[in-house]
Amino acid sequence: MRMQQGVRATKGFVSTRVSTLGEGTYTDPGQTGLQLRVRSKQDGKATRAWLLRFKFKGEETRIVLGHFPETTLDEARGLARKAREQASQGIDPRRAGPRRRTGRTAVPVLAVPVGGKHTIEFLAHEFIERHVKTTRRQPGYVENILNRDVLTADAWKGRDARTIKSREVIELLDGIVARGSRVMANRTAGILAQMFKFGVHRAIVEANPVQLLYRPGGKESARDRCLTDTELKALLANPKDATRFERLAHVIIILLLTGQRRGELALARWADIDFEDKTWRIPDANSKTGKGHTVPLSPWAVQEFEALQRLVRHSRYVLPNETNDGAADAKLLTRGVARCQARMKKLGIARFTLHDLRRTCRTGLARLKIAPHIAERVLNHAQEKIPGTYDTHDYFEEKRDALTKWSEYVGSLVRDK
């Protein structure tokens, strides 16, 4: 056997012999490529590191498998066999496990480009570019989750995606649950399942390690929060005082009167608002369902839009960002409402979100005896397959009548205070 310079041959490795070898690097006759490197420290003690020499795609390198006695001789041999088997299958052993946090690796490990066709980073990139961006209206949502909780995880960075096991998926999701984000754990689980399914389809991985029998964050309770008439009366009596911010007050009233989504309002341009015809056009690109529609505006809703326009005279957007060159982030609207909860609590208004206003509108339409198929079209909910295919009527006049009745009802609450 040809020996590497500075490496000593040994008659055989046994645990007692490993613990007594002096400084140097020794080969293990019992396992091809396995070495023990012994180094003395300043305190007179010695470190004993298990190394594996191997070739990957014609390139010879060494990696650290562990340290004796934490990693026993038998364990080191098992790790060496597994690594060599991975190399023979085209899997780089350097990317087949979590990256080490310690700085004790004395032998440099040659870096493999992140763009390698089996890395978790490559899989995520292909998934985003070839699937998410072509099928989702808001691909940034998926990108943010992968960047925050998957690609930055110490145990996943730089990994060969083919080596990630089901247990590692569970551990990743358990970490998200542990920080108190149960719903996000469920969302991340769904995205990971889609990503690895895509990877199997594209031959980036051979199997999908996301094999969950239960939701990691548990069952999610459907929200049923609606503002009561008493709460609406308290809120509308002085909206600016309840919210502190004039713009937020107008946003809340518009969403309450129209039943539309916060993201659709955040993306609205003044070109979409027709003050003469009293309409708000939501284009396909701004709609969550991908199918836009025209929202009839009651006189009260028109007044709220006019008030917003006076606040932002030099912007194309109804709700511009801070630099006035783009649309506001819908999340900032949500945070604005959250910051006002203490003030609203003093007025007798329990905690609510902007989406709860949409639910309040829908519930109000039902109380006013508006037909369900009209109320659903007001909110632009996706229709069932057959009605959605064969019924192409826009129900515009019916929607106007419904929202006018709703606006009048909400207005009566303020007048009757």
Q: What is the pLDDT of residues 203-217, one digit of tens each?
A: 999 999 999 989 998
Q: Indicate the domain borders of the chain.
A: 7-90, 120-201, 229-415
Can you tell me the mean pLDDT for 255-282? 95
Cα angle, residue 273 at apex, residues 270 and 274 outer, rounded to 5°: 125
- What was the pLDDT predicted at 399? 95
pLDDT exceeds 90 at position 196: yes
- Assign 110 a pLDDT band (cuts: 50, 70, 90): very low
Between 383 and 355, the higher pLDDT residue: 355
Give pLDDT tens digits for 142-165: 998 999 899 988 889 888 999 999
Q: Is the pLDDT of residue 7 over 80?
A: no
Distance CA 261, CA 33 (A): 62
Kindly state the average pLDDT of the residues 26-34.
Answer: 81
Q: Give the best-scoring range by mean pLDDT among 156-160, 187-191, 282-286.
A: 187-191
- The reply to whether the predicted model has a pTM over 0.85 is no
Q: pLDDT at residue 229 above 50?
A: yes
Average pLDDT in the chain:
84
Burial of 286 (0-12, 13-18, 19+ CB in 10 A): buried
Question: Is-same-fold flag (7-90; 229-415)?
Answer: no
pLDDT at residue number 134? 87
Tell me: pLDDT of 100 over 60.
Answer: no
Q: Among 307-311, 319-323, 391-395, whose mean pLDDT is lowest? A: 391-395
- Determine the Cα–Cα distance for residues 164 and 308; give it in Å rounded to an integer: 51
Q: Given this model, what pLDDT does residue 288 score?
A: 81
pLDDT value at position 99?
54
Residue 80 pLDDT > 90: no
Residue with tokens 């639910």: 359
User: pLDDT at residue 300 above 60?
Assistant: yes
Quick one: pLDDT at residue 396? 93
Tell me: pLDDT of 417 over 70.
no
Per-residue confidence (pLDDT) for residue 157, from 0 to 100: 87
Q: What pLDDT was estimated at residue 405?
A: 96
- Average pLDDT rounded to a whole number, residues 51-61: 77
User: What is the share, in percent, of the chain residues with pLDDT greater than 90?
Assistant: 47
Q: Using the predicted structure, report yes or no on whether residue 101 has a pLDDT greater than 60.
A: no
- d(CA 329, CA 83) in angstroms, rounded, equals 47
Residue 161 has a pLDDT of 92
pLDDT the model gives residue 13:
67
Was domain 7-90 assigned CATH 3.30.160.390? yes
Residue that wins the pLDDT comparison between 333 and 244: 333
Residues listed for the chain: 417
Q: What's the rounded mean pLDDT across residues 37-63?
A: 78
Would you call 304 exposed, middle or buried from its count of C-beta atoms within 10 A (0-12, 13-18, 19+)?
buried
The band of 102, judged by pLDDT with boundaries at 50, 70 and 90, is very low
Identify the CATH homologous superfamily for domain 229-415: Intergrase catalytic core (1.10.443.10)
pLDDT of residue 348: 93
Buried b (16+ CB within 10 A) or exposed e, 138-160: eeeebbebbeebbbebeebbbbb
